[in-house]
Structure 1
Amino acid sequence: MENMPMPKTRKPNAQWDANATKIFNEICVEQVLANNKPQGCLNNKGYANLISQFNERTGRNYTRVQMKNRWDALKADFTTWKTLLLSASGLGIDPKTGTIAASDDWWEEKINVMPLCKKFRFAPLDNDEDVEIMFSGASYTNTNAVAPGAREGSAGNGNGNGNGNCNDKDNGSDDVQEVYPSPAEKQPVKRGAAYKSPKKGKKNFRDM
């Protein structure tokens, strides 16, 4: 009897609930401040620390590819949110939803151009201070210094621990589908105060 090939087993999808995302962001910030992000993504040491600490704190067993996919998803959210803020000059922030106070027509126009905007229709960017550090064009270190002229994706050798591969993403989906508020949860739009960064000294968003 011929040996039958063993069926391939698919690794389980990563479940990115609010707590898992918070832990992920906290560890990523620690690695950025430890100078383990010389380019647009964590280097090898940064990823090794992220994987071991995240799995230890959550009891999960996520891979580097799953971590990188999540990093890319959060970076896309950050870029979309910052683009929205830049295009919302003169508009305020809705005190109830925390997102941009604009008309339905304004939102429809933005969503048509950038579909990811839909997730910010009724809620702002989550963990904004953490993702600002993770994806800002400035290069943060554990001494809170900023390297002048440093931008996302610029070449750099890091601290001798090896560069991360910014292209090591999976073709499959490792993340759960995002859940958006239903129309019944829609809040009336109110014009609030102009948007201001919640943290003094926060760096301005730069094109990435």
Structure 2
Amino acid sequence: MEWTDDYNRIVCELFAEQVRRENRPNTHLNTLGYTEVSGRFYQMTGIELSKTQIKNKWDRLKNGWSIWQKLLRNQTGTGWDNTREVINMDNEWWKKMKVDVPGSGKFNKKARQNEDFLREMFGDISNDETDHWNPMSDNPVIPESQKDTENIDGAGEEEEEDNVFHDWSYREEEDEEVQEVLKKKKSSTALIIQEQITKIADSAESFTSKMQAEVVSIKEVMDVVLDCGAQYGSNEHDIATQLFVKKE
């Protein structure tokens, strides 16, 4: 697909509309924003764009806006042409800018189109290129690394996705460390419980031994009764005997 001036104006207008509807939680649109742009663009042009194509277009526009802002900051007051709304600097300046600001050559004697819409889209993103990312959003912050081309036929999109590297080994090492910590924690807890049970058992054994040492047999008690003068057959002896009779 070739991005004509009309198509660029339409997509910028749709992007700005989604920003006003707060469908740009960070530096990119959310899923609803992409869906709305795709549907509205199809209604207006008959061309269906995928989410990846729309996102790539957003990134290129954002990159172009960043380059334009850097050029404006570097040009002197006499280098701006109000009539044509272009940066009017000499060739030496443009040569330097092509080195200092890669991709800036496309703006040589060319006005920045759809600037009002672009300002709505990117104007509140800080000038130092800091991305304002909301951690609650499902959209990752993606650095600007777009080419100057305006062709979005999708030829390089799958290759770009294939180059994404996920460091699963780091995740596995992290999981192993977590498991090791949990294992140590369980072992430590088990040792504490075992120590407490051992202490309780020792205390119970000591208490039982002490009680057994203090127990006096019935015979020893009855001998004391006899020593006190309560002879066999006497009322006193019978009363003492009844005290040791097991109740049914």
Above 0.5 in TM-score?
yes
8 Å CA contact retained: 2:86, 2:109: yes
Task: Give how far 1:97 is off.
Answer: 3.9
Q: Name structure 2 gaps, 5 residues minimum.
A: 153-248
Distance (whole Å) between structure 1 residues aligned to residue 39 and residue 65 of structure 2? 25
Give the counterpart of 1:136 among 117, 123, 140.
Answer: 123
TM-score by length of 2: 0.53
Letter in 2 for 1:28: F
Q: Does 1:58 align with 2:45?
A: yes
Partner of 2:132: 154
Letter in 1 for 2:151: V
Count of residue pairs brought into register by the alignment:
148
8 Å CA contact retained: 2:88, 2:109: no
Task: Give how far 1:89 is off.
Answer: 3.5
SS in 1 for 2:44: helix
> Do the aligned partners of residues 58 and 47 (structure 1) sit closer, same or farther apart at CA in structure 2, a change above 3 Å counting?
same
Partner of 2:107: 120
Distance (whole Å) between structure 1 residues aligned to residue 133 and residue 151 of structure 2? 32
8 Å CA contact retained: 1:137, 1:152: no
What do the CA deviations read for 1:167-198 (whole angstroms, capped 9, x no partner)? 5x9x9999429xxxxxxxxxxxxxxxxxxxxx
Two-structure CA RMSD over aligned residues (Å): 2.9
Partner of 1:20: 7
Partner of 1:98: 85
State the structure with bigger RCO (CA 8 A, min sep 6), 1 or 2. 1
Task: Give how far 1:104 is off.
Answer: 1.1
Letter in 2 for 1:156: N
> Do the aligned partners of residues 98 and 174 (structure 1) sit closer, same or farther apart at CA in structure 2, a change above 3 Å counting?
closer
Give the counterpart of 1:34 among 21, 26, 30.
Answer: 21
Distance (whole Å) between structure 2 residues aligned to residue 115 and residue 157 of structure 1? 31
Matches within 5 A, 1:76-87: 76-87=63-74
User: Between the two proteins, what is the percent identity of the paired residues?
Assistant: 26
Task: Give how far 1:39 is off.
Answer: 0.3
8 Å CA contact retained: 1:94, 1:100: yes
Task: Give how far 1:95 is off.
Answer: 4.5
> Do the aligned partners of residues 174 and 110 (structure 1) sit closer, same or farther apart at CA in structure 2, a change above 3 Å counting?
closer
8 Å CA contact retained: 2:60, 2:148: no
Partner of 1:44: 31
TM-score by length of 1: 0.62
Partner of 2:179: none
Q: Name structure 1 gaps, 5 residues minimum.
A: 1-13, 140-150, 178-208
Distance (whole Å) between structure 2 residues aligned to residue 107 and residue 173 of structure 1? 17
| Structure 1 or 2: more helix by fraction | 2
